[in-house]
Structure 1
Amino acid sequence: MLQKIEQHTCPFKMALDKLYDGVFISDQKGKTIYVNDAYQIMSGLKYEEVVGKYVTDMEAKGIYKNPVTPEVIRQGRQVNSIGKAKGGVDMLISGNPIYNEKNELVYVVVSQRDITDFQMLKQKLEVTEEKMLTAEIDREKKEEEIQYLKKRLLEKTGIIGESQGILNVISLIDKVSSLDVTLLITGESGVGKEVIANEIYQKSKTKNKHFIKVNCAAIPANLLEAELFGHVKGAFTGAIKDKLGLFQLANEGTLFLDEIGEMPVELQSKLLRAIQQKEVIPVGGSEVQKLDVRIIAATNQDLLKQVKQGKFREDLYYRLNVLPIEVPPLRERKQDIILLGQYFLNTYSKKYGKNVFISQGGFELLEDYSWPGNVRELQNIIERLVIISEDRSVADHEQISRMIYPDFKKDFSFSNEKSLWDILESVEKQLITDAIKEVGSTRKVAQRLKIDQSTVVKKIKKHGIKIEKR
């Protein structure tokens, strides 16, 4: 068979080897029969190392990770995925089945394409800003056009912000939303991972289908399996009838698994099967149910660290981490704080029937704050501010400071007869304590406070500050 294919493709080999895209061809059993020059360059594998080998064998040896060929053979349709080339370049991988006149699968053709330059609108914004900064034009016209392009970019999304970090996230969402690929959203608690998941769903091909959300940390471990995969009547005490799980409810749509790092290890193998084989077995049942569900997972934990600790399956990690989307913390998005603050101010003023404003000094204080609770903390602060404020009032620097530093009055009041030295000592202890809670290590505290690490260690001992292990 291999010799026959080689002879048949010989006239086209020169043309295939000239292609920019990598091409990989296997037979109906997953045995490799041809790879072009571009594929060899991208994968770092030589022709003789691949041709004649079965894809499943290569996967078992760890040479391939999550290949699409077995899925094309199993599903009999096109399968797309995102991977990385040898040099770390993002690749769009597309596998297609080839049938003969008897409608029998004979070949699987896989192509790989570099998609790193897929940022048209963002690039246009950057180029326009650069040109306008160097051109001799009126400053007002320059600013007007830049803001117009930024508005165009942000109008495409429900995500608020214009910092480079969040624009990178928006650009990545635009690339992957329409692809049938599993996504993992990472970031600290409160950064808005669910907002990102909503945006991906709204831009997906299945936006008119079900979008089911589940917090893996909110459901007891002994109930989570039945919630996800359903159960049959009599499967356990209280199972008085068959019940569909969240996977079945999300069929042909999207399932958002929030706090995936909290999923029990014993359940992770079943989740892997559901994602990999696109099938589930209800609790207490024996019948396999075929499903087509897109998975978006999210976590604020370091899953790779959990893998090393044996708390998270390595194979599930790599299946979920096909394309990670990391959402930056609010402290790294300083220029978005006023935009978000104004948005929440307008939202809650409308909700509670008030017109509440924040002074320039108040907004400056919001920008200077480190926001350990991220966007969620900002949202809560603004809502509380609107609730306690009178209609048509203006929240100033002092009012904002009392809300984000609740111990401000206690620590800085002169009525408590503290000396200047006592006040400074109290402030120093509070700053170091807050920094430790926020970043976790003395090295990072030193970076945040712009002092030596040895100085941080001495002051921790001096003030008796405890560092909790993470």
Structure 2
Amino acid sequence: MKQAGSILVVDDNPDILVAMQLLLKQHYQTVVTTDNPFDIGKTLNEQQIEVILLDMNFNRDAISGQEGFYWLKKIIAQDPSVVVVLMTAYGDIKLAVDAIKAGAADFIAKPWRNEQLLAVIAAAFSHARDKQQVGKLTRQTKGLNQALSGQKFDFLGQSAAMQAVFYTIEKAAKTDANILITGESGTGKELAAHAIHLASKRSEQAFISLDMGAIAASLFESELFGHKKGAFTDAKADRVGRFELAHGGSLFLDELGNLPISEQTTLLAALQNRQITPIGGIKTIDVDIRLICATNDDLPQAVRDNRFRQDLLYRINTVEIRLPPLRERVDDIPLLATYYLDHFSHKYKRQLTIAPEDMRALCRYTWPGNVRELAHAIERAVILTDDDVLDIRSVVGTELAQLNVATNAFELGKGGSTTHDNDYDTFNLETLEQRAVRAALKHHQGNVSQAAKALGLTRGAMYRRLDKYGL
């Protein structure tokens, strides 16, 4: 049975090439031959070669082996993962030692014995696989140092809404199903993705994330699949992609709705085939990942708007987890505020507490920026507070004032009073949403961007609601 492997034989003697072809094709899947060493570079660019059998002399009567050393250096410079075995008709111990010092894996004299040649080649393939593994680990280590950065917080919640989220995570994490996390900006989608990874069987492997909204469309393939040195103008060194970094672990693609539809086909193919090819490379790389995606966009609507591929949506959302906005989990605000106060007090070497009235103020605010906004507000207050009691109004006083104005606008929008007894005349979500949109627009004097931000919506989602309600 033939073994997986690719060999290039370079020799100016056609009889040698025929003999090598007849012998080696019985044992290995790919055997390429050439009598011109200038073909080596092109062959390495076009095919996946692991071992090269290289003659040391190409000019008639040449016996110094210097040509072989020249081409050996060229090969190593182009692809250090290739293993080279040098051949010469003049068995010379010093030449063999010099060849190995120069980077050759072994040395064989012609004429050869088939058993000896096959043993040398088998050892060369073993060496090639070891070099490939070391190279992969080196690239992964470098890439992980770049990817595993940033501050991480705990994924907390005690409200009924969050308990439902935790239950779904626990069930889904035990499988390798692709998961789509939805929710407004700042609700903790990346923290949820981390929680899924930690609860999965891949927890001891890498968790790699990529914010699709933070990369240019032209760099999408390079970020995900990597590139080879020289593949494009700024490719000054090999780069390992996020798919390869996440091999064996989890890959988290945040803000997936920002991915241009022109690039979605490439991502879909990688997910379907579980294989990638770096830009400028010829070798396909098998990848084993658990895919977790997140978005604050309405992807089903994006499909209807021809902004997102339906087949890609089917591929990524085997399980969908919706994270509730902070205004739907008010019971969690004291827990979260205390957690962030402890965290940032430690970070800035302070000892602070929150007054009960300030905690109540935090619970009354709608937090359009959700948990992220709460965390930033606490951090700013820790920095700006002079005494031992957190001065939360120094950073959210304006927002709390706006809350009162928005509440009044909401009550006026429904024709009611400005009291805050929550005695609504309807619980119909569509009616309440329409009133909220009207109130936000009125409060922000028709500024769609500011109204959308106050409601925790993207501009696209806001415009869809304006069209829906004829506003």
Shorter-chain TM-score: which interval?
A: 0.5 to 0.7
Query: 2:398 — aligned with what?
Result: 406
Q: 1:387 to 1:300 in 2, by over 3 A?
A: same
Question: Is 1:344 the counterpart of 2:340 in the alignment?
Answer: yes
Q: Is contact 1:184–1:323 with CA below 8 Å preserved after alignment? A: yes
The answer to whether the 8 A contact 1:402-1:408 is kept is: no
Distance 1:241 1:295 in 2: 27
Amino acid at match of 2:184: E
- Give the equivalent residue in structure 2 for 1:294: 290
Counterpart residue number, 2:86: none
> Does the Cα contact within 8 Å between 2:228 and 2:279 map onto a contact in 1?
yes
Distance change in 2, residues 1:308/1:463 (3 Å):
closer
Q: 1:199: Cα distance to partner?
A: 0.8
Equivalent of residue 185 in structure 1, options 181, 188, 209: 181
Where in structure 2 are there 5+ consecutive unaligned residues?
1-152, 414-427, 450-461, 464-471
2:238 to 213, 226, 242: 242
- Using the TM superposition, give the Cα deviation of residue 239 of structure 1 relative to its aligned residue in structure 2, in angstroms: 2.3
CA contact (8 A) 2:221 2:279 kept: yes
Counterpart mapping for 1:70-469 below 5 A: 158-391=154-387, 393-395=388-390, 399-406=391-398, 428=408, 447=432, 453=435, 464-467=445-448, 469=462
Deviation for aligned residue 1:394:
2.0
Cα deviations across residues 66-100 of structure 1 (Å, max 9, x unaligned)? xxxxxxxxxxxxxxxxxxxxxxxxxxxxxxxxxxx
Task: Give the Cα–Cα distance (whole angstroms) in 1 for the partners of residues 199 and 444 of structure 2.
Answer: 52
Give the C-alpha shift of residue 430 in structure 1: 10
Aligned-pair CA distance for 1:160:
1.4
Between the aligned partners of 2:305 and 2:376, the Cα distance in structure 1 is 35
Structure 1 residue 380: Cα displacement: 0.8
Residue pair 1:356, 1:390 contacting (<8 A) in 2 also: no
Structure 1 residues 460 and 324: alpha-carbon distance in aligned structure 2, compared to 1, 3 A threshold: closer
Match of 1:49 in 2: none
Q: Give the CA deviation at 1:359.
A: 1.2
The equivalent residue for 1:23 is none
Question: Contact 2:252/2:291 (CA < 8 Å) preserved in 1?
Answer: yes
Bigger Cα displacement from structure 2, 252-261 vs 277-286: 277-286
User: 1:390 deviation in Å?
Assistant: 2.7
1-side partners of 2:175 and 2:380: how far apart? 40
| Structure 1 residue 249 displacement after superposition | 1.3
1:221-269 CA-partner distances (Å, limit 9, x unpaired): 1011111111233321122443321111111111111111111212111
CA distance in 1, matches of 2:253, 2:210: 5
Native 8 Å contact 2:276 2:285 kept in 1: yes
Shift of 1:428: 4.7
In the aligned structure 2, how far is the partner of 1:394 from the partner of 1:208? 41
Q: Residue 459 and residue 354 in structure 1: after superposition, are their counterparts in 2 closer, same or farther (change >3 A)?
A: closer
Aligned partner letter, 2:389: V
- Asked whether the equivalents of residues 182 and 295 of structure 2 are also in contact (C-alpha less than 8 Å), the reply is yes
Q: Per-residue CA shift, 1:129-184, capped at 9, x if unaligned?
A: xxxxxxxxxxxxxxxxxxxxxxxxxxxx9421111110011111111112111111
How far apart are 1:432 and its partner, in Å? 8.7
Any idea what SS the aligned residue of 2:251 has? strand
Q: For the residues of structure 1 that align with 2:443 and 2:316, how far apart are their CA atoms?
A: 45
* Higher alpha-carbon deviation: 202-211 or 285-294: 285-294
Residue type of the partner of 1:247?
A: F
**Secondary structure class of the residue paired with 2:392:** helix
Partner amino acid, structure 2, of 1:400: I
1:282 to partner: Cα distance? 1.7
One-letter code aligned to 1:206: R
Q: 1:405 to 1:465 in 2, by over 3 A?
A: farther
Deviation at 1:445, TM superposition (A): 9.6
Tell me which amino acid in the other structure corresponds to 2:250. Answer: T
Residues 168 and 357 (structure 1 numbering): CA distance in 2 closer, same or farther, change over 3 Å? same
Contact 1:229–1:283 at 8 Å: present in 2 too?
Answer: yes
Q: CA deviation at 1:458?
A: 9.8
Contact 1:432 1:445 in 2 (8 A): no
User: TM-score normalised to the size of structure 1?
Assistant: 0.55
- Inter-CA distance 278–192: structure 2 relative to 1 (3 Å threshold): same
How far the C-alpha of 1:360 sits from its partner, in A, is 1.1
Equivalence map 1:42-57=2 (5 Å): none
Asked whether the 8 Å contact 1:186–1:300 carries over to 2, the reply is yes
Give the residue type in structure 1 aligned to 2:341. L
Shift of 1:466: 3.9
Deviation at residue 429 of structure 1 after TM alignment: 6.0
Give the Cα–Cα distance (whole angstroms) in 1 for the partners of residues 375 and 405 of structure 2.
31
**Equivalent-residue separation in structure 1 for 2:368 and 2:310 (angstroms):** 30
Using the aligned pairs only, state the percent identity: 40
Paired residues, number? 285
Consecutive unaligned residues of structure 1, counting only runs of 5 or more, are 1-156, 413-423, 434-442
Report the alpha carbon displacement of residue 379 of structure 1 after superposing the two structures with TM. 0.6
Q: Which of the two has higher C-alpha Rg?
A: 2
Deviation at 1:387, TM superposition (A): 1.1
Structure 1 residues 460 and 239: CA distance shift in structure 2, 3 A:
closer
CA offset digits 1:24-71 (Å, max 9, x no partner): xxxxxxxxxxxxxxxxxxxxxxxxxxxxxxxxxxxxxxxxxxxxxxxx
How far apart, CA to CA, are the structure 2 residues paired with 1:224 and 1:429? 44
Q: One-letter code of the match for 1:319?
A: R
Instruction: Show structure 1 runs of 4+ deviating over 4 A.
Output: 424-433, 443-446, 455-464
Contact 2:344 2:382 in 1 (8 A): yes
TM-score (norm 2): 0.55
Report the CA distance shift for 1:294/1:467 in structure 2 as closer, same or farther (over 3 A): same
Aligned-residue CA RMSD in angstroms?
3.2
* Structure 1 CA distance for aligned equivalents of residues 227 and 213 of structure 2: 20
* Structure-2 separation of matches of 1:328 and 1:426: 21
What are the Cα deviations for residues 356-384 of structure 1, in whole angstroms up to 9, with x where unaligned?
11111111111111111100111111111
Which secondary structure state, in structure 2, belongs to the residue aligned with residue 353 of structure 1?
coil
What is the distance in 1 between the residues matched to 2:158 and 2:321? Answer: 17
Deviations 1:161-218 (A, max 9, x none): 1111100111111111121111111110000011111111111111111111111111
